[in-house]
Structure 1
């Protein structure tokens, strides 16, 4: 695998992980509000 290919794979992995983390955090926040977190 080329260096640029490896770097691209790492960057994609980090971006995908961040997107997944943000989505999960938003889902948890909505669930907390839905279950009466007032």
Structure 2
């Protein structure tokens, strides 16, 4: 997870560092983390 991009959170597969990244607004990333911590996968 990259946190050095203002206003964005980028996530990639660490086993494939040159591969694509998924990019999210910070609010959506927080919502995803909160949902998975609560066992919700229907977000």
Q: Which of 1 and 2 has higher RCO (CA within 8 Å, sep 6+)?
A: 2
TM-score normalised per structure 2:
0.36
Quick check: which has more Rg, 1 or 2?
1
More helix by share: 1
TM-score normalised per structure 1:
0.41
